[in-house]
Amino acid sequence: MVDIGSNSVRLVLYEGNNRALTMLFNEKVLSGLGKGIAQTNKLDERSVASALGALKRFRKLIDQAGVEEVYPLATAAAREASNGPDFVRAAEEAIGTPIRILSGQDEAFYAAQGVIAGFHVPNGVAGDMGGGSLELVDMANGRIGTGLTLPLGGLRLQDLSGNDISKAKAIADSEVANCGMTGLAEGRPFFAVGGTWRNLAKLHMEQRRYPLHVMHGYEVAASDWLTFLDMVVKGDPEKLPGIAAVSKPRRALLAYGAVALQAVLRHLRPSSVVLSALGVREGFLHTLLTEEERRKDPLLEASREFSILRSRSPRHSEELVSFCQRTFETLGIEETPDEERLRAAACLLSDVGWRAHPDYRGPQSLSMLAHASFSAVDHAGRAYLGLASYYRHEGDFLQNAMPEMQTLAGPRLMARAQLLASLFRVAYVLTASTPGILDRLRWRPDARGGFRLLLPPDLAGLVSEKPLGRLEQFAKLVDRRLRLDIG
């Protein structure tokens, strides 16, 4: 993907186009094509030179990487400037392929598709703030509704206001107030897309010392943003606490992103702000998938890929999903639909840390999974996935060695992670990650109360002190009488 935006020109190489995109390479150049357009209606010569230089380099990278499909997209600056057609012709020569110029409606549609690609059945309003425009789109349970584009990109807002942040605030407030979306997000989240808002969130993370520096899925109550945004608007960007986390070229637009977000919060009235790392680029690719592929769960697809790459036996991981499902159903352990999909993902990921030194498998698995490039999972879910694997390797559920992750998961998911990890410890001690065993185990009611886990006679030799001890530990966590038996 080649994204020619109003602020940045970017190349992103993906391993392929599927439900769980894997990024191979990502490079951006802040050319600032949209700078000054509000006054001159023309692309700045230096910005054009910077963008064309970047595109020539991107062409070389594309060729040497053996990329099979190239999709160049251009947005507000290229379509609106009087010399935009001249730039596009030069850009097409530099990149070596036709460029698709997106309309404002296109941008809104693909931004919403990006959010749909990155979240599990999202229900809220998506907002994509680029350098030249802000797209707002309503989404109801994964379906795209009303969408529009506003002249509130960071560079555009800076130009329209003459670098006066008070004027910028008034412009943003007026545009959002009159766009016809007042109250549309009430009681639902606002999904924030775009580099300026991501950098605001990065600064917010630094100031609150948030333990998980993963942008996608970072969610904060709308009310908690208000004081922070006011501080950004009024303060010197170079003196803001935690500003070192934001690259210097991005700092000048932080206040303009803040006033735009203030206007959105004031008029759309969302319950929270959720950051999306997926936007127009990923949304465009999402529309190229078959309907069958789009229906797949991206978290489970990414977990399967991770299992194939890192588990001793991906087939065993799939069998573990079925075994844990049967166990939960038999023992009457209730789950929400989201807890069920998290449990399935945790099963697929349960053995990805096996190559680490035994003393570090738990912490390494936790770090790997909490920080993995997954979509369609919130930060509490990330902590749960990591903790399930951590407890599986550590075995001691009484320790408080990972308090930040435990707090992030919350009491219910932490308890679920411990319970599932305990079941993992039963499964792995009986199979040693060998496929073809778990599918032969069956739960049956015990005449003396509780349940028996039955092994076929040819596996009787597996019964010994260690599996019995681990089953006893699991029995305590689920508060059931459980026995290991042959039958």
Give me the pLDDT at residue 260, please.
98
Q: What mean pLDDT do residues 119-135 have?
A: 95
Distance CA 253, CA 203 (A): 13
Give me the pLDDT at residue 142, please.
82
Distance CA 433, CA 307 (A): 12
Distance CA 233, CA 254 (A): 8
- Sheet of 143-150: strand order equals 143-150, 134-140, 124-129, 189-193, 272-276, 219-221
Write down the pTM of the prediction.
0.94
pLDDT in tens, 401-451: 678 999 999 999 999 999 999 999 999 999 999 999 999 999 999 999 999
For the chain, the first-to-last Cα distance in angstroms comes to 57
pLDDT in tens, 143-202: 899 899 999 999 999 999 999 999 999 999 999 999 999 999 999 999 999 999 999 999
Is the distance from CB of 225 to CB of 159 less than 8 angstroms?
no
Give me the pLDDT at residue 399, please.
61
What is the DSSP secondary-structure string of 225-258? HHHHHHHHHHS-GGGSTTGGGS-HHHHTTHHHHH
Looking at the chain, the number of H-run helices and the number of E-run strands are 20, 14
For the chain, domains (ranges, CATH) are 2-101 (3.30.420.40), 104-284 (3.30.420.150), 298-486 (1.10.3210.10)
pLDDT in tens, 371-409: 999 999 999 999 999 999 999 999 887 666 678 999 999
pLDDT at position 468 over 90: yes
* Among the listed residues 134, 13, 10, 100, the one whose alpha carbon sits nearest the alpha carbon of residue 63: 13
Distance CA 142, CA 138 (A): 10
* Among the listed residues 141, 145, 40, the one whose alpha carbon sits nearest the alpha carbon of residue 84: 40
pLDDT at position 105 over 80: yes
* Among the listed residues 322, 302, 306, the one whose alpha carbon sits nearest the alpha carbon of residue 314: 306
Q: What mean pLDDT do residues 466-479 have?
A: 96
pLDDT band of residue 38 (cuts 50, 70, 90) is confident
pLDDT in tens, 82-97: 999 999 999 999 999 9
